[in-house]
Amino acid sequence: MEGDVDPKTGFVDDFFNIEKYFAPLLEKLDHHCLNEVEDLDNPTAENIAIWIWKRLFDSLPILSSVRVYETPMSWVEYQGI
């Protein structure tokens, strides 16, 4: 997330708000066959990050990047276009 920190809350955005938009996407990915996820034809970490970005950015314009971890030391980060 990127933006000004709200002086009252101390947040750029409340994580509950972020979760509201991300939870439906996570539900489609978590414990599912990724090859069967709609519009995710080749479920590489890179493509999953892009897939998430495309679905979140309109609702969360403060989104600055999406990071997808394959392992604790291996990840991809997509910063949008």
* CATH (domain of 25): 3.30.479.10
**pLDDT tops 90 at residue 70:** yes
- What mean pLDDT is predicted for residues 1-21? 93
Task: Say what the pTM is.
Answer: 0.89
**Quick check: is 1 in a domain?**
no
Average pLDDT of span 47-65: 96
Instruction: Please report, for residues 13, 23, 45, 76, the alpha-carbon distance to residue 71 in angstroms, rounded to integers and kept in the order given.
Output: 27, 21, 11, 10
Average pLDDT rounded to a whole number, residues 25-48: 96
For residue 34, the model assigns a pLDDT of 97
Residue 25 domain-assigned?
A: yes
Structural domain containing residue 69: 18-78
| Predicted local confidence at residue 58, as pLDDT | 94
Say how many domains are in the chain: 1
